[in-house]
Chain A
Amino acid sequence: MTGREAGSAGVSRRSVLATAAAAVGAVSGCAKRTRNVMARDPASQVSLRILTVPVDANPYPARIAQALAANLRACGVDAGVEPTGPEALYRRVLLDHDFDLYVGQFPRTDWRDPDHLYALAHSVYAGEPGWQNPFGYTNLQLDDALETQRTTSGAERKTAVAAVQERLAESQPFTTLAVPDALSAVRTDRFGNWRGSPMDPLTLLGLSPTGEATTLRLGTTDGRITGNRNPITAEFRTRGTFVDLLYDSLGRRVDGVLRPWLAADWRISERDGQLQALLSLREDLTWHDGEPLTADDVAFTYEFLADTSLGAAESPIPASRYRGRTSLVADVSVVDETTVRVAFADSSPVVAERAFTVPLLPEHVWAEQTETARVAGVETNRTMTEALAWNNPQPVGSGPLQFERAVPSESLRLSRFDDHFLRDDPEDLPERLTGAPAYEELRLSAVGSDDAAVELVAAGDADATVAPVGAAVVPRIGRESALDLVSRPSRAFYHLGFNTRTAPLSNTRFRRIVARLFARSRIVESVFDGYAQPAETPLVGTGWEVPERTLDDVGPGDTFVGEGGELDTEAARAAFVEAGYRYDDGDLLSE
């Protein structure tokens, strides 16, 4: 606030001076000098908006953003926090790239392999919508390291992954803050066997009723699935729990290991220097609408995700999700009704297998959505297809649960898909999943906040919360004897994202100073109440992380400008000056 006031005062003084100078110049005839002064645009104060979701959606990011904004203001930046609904926020950050900074979470992903950083940070995705380099960051060295880790293995890959982390730490296209614990309130009187986080679709599938319960009831603060069930649009999905129950993939990670799911098995081999897989589907697979699921659908899915216009548009229009994984596939050819041959792009077998975790889409449904998007019959956006605009109200997947009905912003109802292969008791999957799910129906209620979600479970109207709740409701969960707190480390790391497309955030030095305006450990302690681990690299805790001192050597690291959580304003301003920035009347000036 003070920054803004000082800013407007500064501007008005400058304009008064300029007017006075013009008058003097005109009178004395020094027109040339006047022009020298007037022709230069006066530098204006740096103004930054930090986007976050509102507290109702997630209690953490707004507090982190407020702490940062206060420190930025102390440095003479006109900074403010703009709470924005999840859908609108993702639209601005991921699709329109219309933002300065945001504090958010990386979506749940196939995180066990560091290759998920490929799509997040590679330069070729800088112009693409989705969770593909939303920072618009380009760095050839980083690209190089990202490509190397894709194609190598063993120690060589380890070195490349370390290089990726060092380049990220050095250049800070985003600043990693913390990896949180995903917290849920769960009641165990109706369903048991809560092995993992309730946000994990396989946890939900493996639940066993303790009595006669036939309906699993869940509560969420993220109601987007009640209005939009499109699996390929980034702005509507975060964890994708329900999309993953509706849509199956060829493989799934079961207990940490990627295993054939819709596929009966696959064999990866190298032929003529190219990696490829021969993959056969399980027998008698069908879609929820009764149509057979065949090798054609598999080939269609990979072609369609890479270009939702199927070649009709001048340049491909890819889905805004799964880009990293679909980029691993060069070609899919149909061998027979249940067999496909997958030719991979340049990659190692471990990385290539990640491609099998994307959801399969039925050709007979999605092939009709390849036209460019129209509003009221008028073509409005030639770089967007109907597939990306579609709310997919009646999703047809092949997952263990099928869609029944939904009331937007209120509820969603799914029922068991009895033609699913799990119902035939497959022998190659763990016992808890054979015949799963052990309930007939799943009901999801959308509520307004963490408190309301926990209240739902406490009142016996839900069995679990399926969007992470904040640490503030933990005491409440502890007080209610019927409720259990389930806490699982999440890989959905919190970070500060920069839009590096425009000044001053395009300047690496500027971003590195901003990264030092966080008292990272302190923020994690106070905001997350200990339910998170401070992190300087997104790979912390995966076994791939490089030691923090290495990151501290190359980047700003965890070196807060100040002590005990208090910003050292003098030192922070000095850092900006040292990086080539100037001050006027206490305002930090843009270049």
Chain B
Amino acid sequence: MTLLPVLSKVVAVDLVVVTVSALVLVGPERLRETAAELPDRLRDVAVPLVVLAVVLLVNSLIREPVTEVAWLVGVNVTPIIYGIEGDFVAWFQSLGTPAVTTLFSYAYVYGYVYVLVFPLVAYAALEDSRALRELTVAYSVNYALGLVCYVLVVAYGPRNLLGETVESLLYTQHPEFQFLTSRVNSNTNVFPSLHTSLSATVIGVAYDTRETYPWWLAVATVVGLSIIGATMYLGIHWATDVVAGLVLAAIAVTIGRRYANRQ
């Protein structure tokens, strides 16, 4: 009931942005060809797509139990992370303005959905299925390894430890977004930052396809870096989570590339 308005808004906005991007970056002609050949192309990537679907399904089914298990077997590293990086996030947030907050909030919610969904469309429109295979495998690796980390590591983000100096900007400015985010993640799952790792993954694969979609590399880089900045600026993630997210992205893209080039 509370979820529906914000969910439909995100779906509507991202549908428009993805459609416009597809028309501009992929082009109407290529899209028409794709529509005709889509069944064949999907058959090419059937295995990684099914794997991704399974990973996502398992992820959503065991999210709650994983949080429970993490409290039993996981290590609470929040004080260690704070000991390493100190008040970096508080400092970063202190540079902000209301306009920056709005920009980062939209990047975090709308931008994130966009960078994840658009490349699936763009790569499905290519005759060569390598990019789509690379991307789907890399996505699966991100979610799978992320889940393992969330079992082993319990950590709260800066907004949950440093009430004095770090404001929970996303939720104080847009409390309705929390109805959405609390359904897809637990507030103890901050290490590593999946927003960071998936955005970086998309940038990595966009680099591999830069000759086909040079402008997408530019767009993905700008939006992706905004999302990564937003995770910290909004007080949701530590800089340490972001570094870990980048490492995870590097692993995911490497595995994705190997898989795509092997076939």
Contacts and interface: CB of A to CB of B under 8 A. Distances in A.
B176 to A, nearest CB: 6
A448 B168 CA distance: 12
Given A55-B163, A56-B160, A62-B163, A454 B175 contact: yes
Interface string B159-181: 11111100010011001101101
B214 interface: no
B162 A447 contact: no
Interface residues on B, range: 20 to 34
Contacts of B79: 49, 80-82
Contact of A54 (B2, B171, B179, B187): B187
Contacts of A449: 168, 171, 175, 178
Interface in B157-212: 159-164, 168, 171-172, 175-176, 178-179, 181-182, 187-188
B155 to A, nearest CB: 9
Given A54-B156, A408-B64, A452-B175, A447 B163 contact: no
Interface residues on A, range: 35 or more
Interface stretch (A20-28, A83-91, A125-133, A262-270): A83-91
A95 to B, nearest CB: 13
Interface string A57-86: 001101100110000000000001111110
A372 interface: no
- Is the contact region of chain A dominated by helix, strand, or loop, or is it mixed? mixed
Contacts of B175: 449, 451-452, 454-455
A82 B171 contact: no
B76 A82 contact: yes
A461 B168 contact: no
Nearest to B63: A409
A445 B71 contact: no
B2 A451 contact: no
A178 to B, nearest CB: 16
B98 interface: no
A451 B161 contact: no
A83 B161 contact: yes
A456 B178 CA distance: 11
B27 interface: no
Interface string B51-74: 000000000000010000001000
Interface in A414-456: 445, 447-449, 451-452, 454-456
Interface in B117-153: none
A473 to B, nearest CB: 8
Nearest to A84: B76
B187 A80 contact: no
B57 to A, nearest CB: 19
A56 B187 contact: yes
Nearest to B166: A55
B39 interface: no
Contact of B83 (A63, A80, A447): A80
A123 B171 CA distance: 44
A49 to B, nearest CB: 7
Interface of B: 1-2, 64, 71, 76, 78-80, 82-84, 86, 156, 159-164, 168, 171-172, 175-176, 178-179, 181-182, 187-188
21 contacts: A1-B83, A1-B84, A54-B156, A62-B160, A62-B161, A63-B163, A63-B164, A80-B82, A82-B79, A83-B156, A83-B160, A84-B76, A408-B64, A447-B182, A448-B171, A448-B187, A452-B176, A459-B176, A461-B2, A472-B172, A527-B164
Interface of A: 1, 4, 49, 54-56, 59-60, 62-63, 66-67, 80-85, 87-88, 408-409, 445, 447-449, 451-452, 454-456, 459, 461, 472, 527
